[in-house]
Amino acid sequence: MDKLIITVLGKDRPGIIAATAKSLFDLNCNLENVNQVILQNQFSGIFIVLPPPELSLNTVKTTLEKDLADTGIYIHVNLADTAPNGNGKGEGENFIITTIGPDQKGLVAKFTRIIADANVNVTNLRAVFKGGDTPGANIMVYEVLITPDTDQKALFSALRDKAAGLGLDVSIQHKNIFQAINKI
Amino acid sequence: MFNEQEILSTIEMVKNEHLDVRAVTLGINLFDCVSHDLSVFKHKIREKIVTRAEALVPVCNTIGEKYGIQVVNKRISTSPIALVGAPFNAEQMVEIAICLNDIAKEVDIDFMGGFSALVEKGIATGDRSLMDALPRALAETQRICASVNVATSRSGINMDAVLDMAKVIKKAATLTAQDDGIACAKLCVFANIPQDMPFMAGAYLGVGVADSVINVGVSGPGVVKKAIERALEARPNLTLGRIAEVIKTTACKVTRVGELIGREVADNLGTRFGVVDLSLAPTPTVGDSIGEIFQALGLTSIGVPGSTAALAMLNDAVKKGGAFASSHVGGLSGAFIPVCEDLNIAEAAEKGYLTIEKLEAMTCVCSVGLDMVPVPGDISEETLAGIMADEMAIGMINNKTTATRIIPVPGKKAGDSVFFGGLLGAAKIMKVPHATNQDSFVRHGGRIPAPIHSLKN
């Protein structure tokens, strides 16, 4: 059987990962990748697992739902499409785009639209909105993969224009600079 | 993914604390251009330098844009012209300087270093021609920088050369009197000059280095100052040992940025990467001053008692942090204390906190020496030579690089203002005791012998 991608969502509490992992272990599934994040008390976890050949997707789903029934957690199981991501543009370079400034509706939509129009993939996104009276505490960080055929100047210019129009301070820098400074 | 603190602190360093790469310097070996025919020599050096350097500025700009870190100066250093141009006389040396200046303009670099001679043990024919050519060469060009090494710990101090250089400096100042003697701002007199270093005015490509090489000079006094201020804000009772640790860590980060950019420039130009020079070099910009670091450390001003100790700590921490960050550290590597180029130091001198004697004392622990010091125009050759000899002696005895970049400002006296513009900045002329006297000490000439520890082998 192909790999499965299991998404686990719900209010955070101790034991979610333990229960999920135990259930998968009992099903003789091998955990290959796990990533979890907690946003404002909400738990989100993604598990990529390799099940034994005889196990069906449906069995995994029903077993997990049964084992985690008393946690109030939502579980979604699907076949994992592990083929390359399909942008077909080969290797690129990672840049980090940061905007700092007043919160307003639609920021992520506006910036990701510009990035998408340049056919650039967002590989990581973090938005931290902590500043009511301190706009400097509102930060959005987009990590993007820019491939050689990207019109880099046009993309950066569009991002800077958009940021200026919205009263935001934007920084666009190659990831290696953060690596050099922070990862010693 | 980096956490928000890492991202914010990086952006802060770049945007608000003036983190930049002060200089990317392409060193070019000119020994294969040697000819006894001046026109052939000039043709060959033009061809070689233009071929190697035409992409330097665009590459630096592109990489600076990519990383969001500005490469402030793009420079070239050449093999010492006194060596590669040894067959030529002084008049021809001036022509070479003008040719190099034209090439510098053609490839759009800021400064070209290497109009240099190494005379610590004696003055050869080419050295003599170059030294005689220096006043005109510097007065008639804008981008040429020169250096003359007159002392080493192994050879002693060539006092004939020291006095000659005093005369050269006076003449260069006179030839550029209308610009406050700016020619002297492009001339360094050294003891123990390091080879293969990117900092002007002394930069040159040493013998024993590859045919071409990229060296990087990082800066970042603003970043160091902010790091100290942040640390003390969080913990006001921090001890000096812990503050030194903060400086060391910051220097490490700054150095890694320099090396990252330098290596990429070298790769793009298809040349070797040489060294990172860790020097903390100031700018005439508020917030990016060496002098302000002293105030962050709790001193009223650079120059007050405690300044030498603070500078020693700063210099050592910068070297330690940089040494961890890069395997190839060279050049001068430490803190500069130039008077004109640093707004805060210029103010300290103006207010009387910093005198030329205290500056000299501080050069015992800093990386260079009496740097960009404007002095009265009527200073005698003997006093000027005496100041330089003292500085050379500090370098010789302590096995360290020292230098002087002194500007006798024609027609002006202590307290008058000078303005050189750009990175060279502005200052008041410093008071020099005994300025116009003519002690015969320096006129004895000869060579002050090397110290006993030079026998080490």
Residue-wise pLDDT tens digits, A51-71: 999 999 999 999 999 998 888
Burial B309-331 (b: 16+ CB within 10 A, else e): ebbebbbbbbbbbbbbbbeebbb
Is pLDDT larger for residue A134 or for residue B437? B437
Nearest CB partner across the interface for B1, out of A100, A126, A176: A126
Q: What is the pLDDT of residue A102?
A: 87
Question: What is d(CA B137, CA B145) in angstroms, rounded to the nearest whole number?
Answer: 9
- The answer to whether the Cβ–Cβ distance between B260 and A180 falls below 8 Å is yes
Please, what are the domains in chain A?
Answer: 4-79 (3.30.70.260), 93-182 (3.30.70.260)
Q: What is the pLDDT of residue A131?
A: 65
Confidence of residue A90 (pLDDT cuts 50, 70, 90): low
Nearest CB partner across the interface for A172, out of B9, B13, B68: B68
List, for residues B69-121, the tens digit of each pLDDT value: 889 899 999 999 999 999 999 999 999 999 999 999 999 999 999 999 999 99
The answer to whether residue A89 scores a pLDDT higher than 60 is no
Mutate one of A93, A181, A183 to test the B interface: name it (highest B CB count within 10 A): A181
Q: Look at residues B95, B84, B200, B70 and name the one whose alpha carbon lies nearest to residue B146.
A: B200
Q: What is the pLDDT of residue B198?
A: 81
- Work out the angle at residue B434's Cα, subtended by the Cα atoms of residues B429 and B439, and round it to the nearest 5 degrees: 130
B21: β partners: B71, B218
DSSP summary character for residue B449: P
Mean pLDDT, residues A36-63 taken together:
92
- The answer to whether the Cβ–Cβ distance between B7 and A181 falls below 8 Å is no
Q: What is the pLDDT of residue B385?
A: 98
Handedness of CA A109, A170, B223, B231 (dihedral sign): negative
Question: What is d(CA A152, CA B90) in angstroms, rounded to the nearest whole number?
Answer: 51
Question: What is d(CA A34, CA A46) in angstroms, rounded to the nearest whole number?
Answer: 6
Nearest CB partner across the interface for B4, out of A124, A139, A171: A139
Q: Look at residues B339, B68, B32, B325 and name the one whose alpha carbon lies nearest to residue B184.
A: B339
Cβ–Cβ < 8 Å for B383, B415: no
Q: Which residues of B touch A176 (CB under 8 A)?
A: 67, 260
Question: What is d(CA A6, CA A82) in angstroms, rounded to the nearest whole number?
Answer: 13
3-state secondary structure of A37: strand
| Chain A residues within 8 Å of chain B (Cβ atoms) | 96, 98, 100, 124, 126, 128, 139, 141, 143, 171-174, 176-178, 180-182, 184
Question: What is d(CA A4, CA A46) in angstroms, rounded to the nearest whole number?
Answer: 10
Shortest CA distance from A179: residue in chain B: B2
Q: What is the pLDDT of residue B26?
A: 97
Q: What is the pLDDT of residue B364?
A: 94
Rg (chain A; Cα; Å): 20
Q: What is the pLDDT of residue A2?
A: 86
Mutate one of B3, B6, B9, B10 to test the A interface: name it (highest A CB count within 10 A): B10
Strands A74-79 and A4-11: antiparallel
Distance from CA of B67 to the nearest CA of A (A): 5
Across chain B, which distance is largest between two alpha carbons, in Å?
Answer: 68
Nearest CB partner across the interface for A181, out of B1, B66, B253: B253
Nearest CB partner across the interface for A178, out of B7, B15, B66: B7
Mutate one of A150, A173, A175, A179 to test the B interface: name it (highest B CB count within 10 A): A173
Q: What is the DSSP string of B233-297?
A: HH-TT--HHHHHHHHHHHHHHHHHHHHHHHHHHHHHHT-EEEEEE--B---SSTTS-HHHHHHHT
- The answer to whether the Cβ–Cβ distance between A181 and B6 falls below 8 Å is yes
Q: Which residues of B touch A182 (CB under 8 A)?
A: 2, 6, 9-10, 253
Phi, psi angle pair for B161, to nearest 5° = -65, -35
Q: What is the pLDDT of residue B175?
A: 98
Mutate one of B66, B254, B320 to test the A interface: name it (highest A CB count within 10 A): B66
ipTM of the complex: 0.75
Nearest CB partner across the interface for A171, out of B4, B9, B11: B11
Phi, psi angle pair for B428, to nearest 5° = -95, 150
Question: What is d(CA B273, CA B167) in angstroms, rounded to the nearest whole number?
Answer: 38
Alpha-carbon distances, residue A113 vs A41, A117, A146, A175 (angstroms): 28, 6, 15, 21
Q: What is the pLDDT of residue A87?
A: 56
Query: Which class for B293: exposed (0-12), middle (13-18), buried (19 or more C-beta within 10 A)?
Result: buried
Number of neighbouring beta carbons within 10 Å of residue B436: 11
- The answer to whether the Cβ–Cβ distance between B6 and A178 falls below 8 Å is yes
Distance from CA of A83 to the nearest CA of B (A): 23
- The answer to whether the Cβ–Cβ distance between B1 and A180 falls below 8 Å is no
**pTM of structure:** 0.87
Residues of chain B with pLDDT under 70: 283-286
